[in-house]
Amino acid sequence: MSAEDTIRDYYEALRRGEPLYPYFLEDDATWKGAISNQYSGYDTVAEALRKQSKTTDEWTVESHDLSVTERDDYAIFHDEVRLAWTNVETGQRWGFDSRWSGTLECIDEADEEWQFVSMHVSAPHDL
């Protein structure tokens, strides 16, 4: 699977409510920046993603401009993504446009297995 396929598969896993932490490299250098938080280290990222999966549902993830560049055993990407989800605790529906960027590492060249080393998700807002 290419780096681009991995990103698209991640989007699908989010839509289906499947675990997301397996997409991230098990390393202290792994980092994820969310809309209002940031997480450093695989264990912290994995725990945040587990909590997200337990407290959200009905995800909409619409990619509008995915660009991926692969170089040997790493890749960089950016995308514009329309996100929406429901908070299962309150029933409130959230949605907005977001920007995604990050890096992936190829951890198995024979099987072309890629994992995120960093991911940043931000939301544009008026100043």
CA distance linking residue 36 with residue 86, whole number of Å: 17
Residue-wise pLDDT for 11-67, tens only, equals 999 999 999 999 999 999 999 998 889 999 999 999 999 999 999 999 999 999 999
CA distance linking residue 100 with residue 122, whole number of Å: 7
> What global pTM score does this model have?
0.93
Q: Which residues pair with 118 in a beta bridge?
A: 31, 103
Taken in order of first residue, the domains within the chain and their CATH numbers are 3-122 (3.10.450.50)
Residue-wise pLDDT for 75-124, tens only, equals 999 999 999 999 999 999 999 999 999 999 999 877 789 999 999 999 87
Are 79 and 67 contacting, i.e. CB atoms less than 8 angstroms apart? yes
Are 76 and 102 contacting, i.e. CB atoms less than 8 angstroms apart? yes
**The token pair that represents 60 in the structure block:** 């909409």
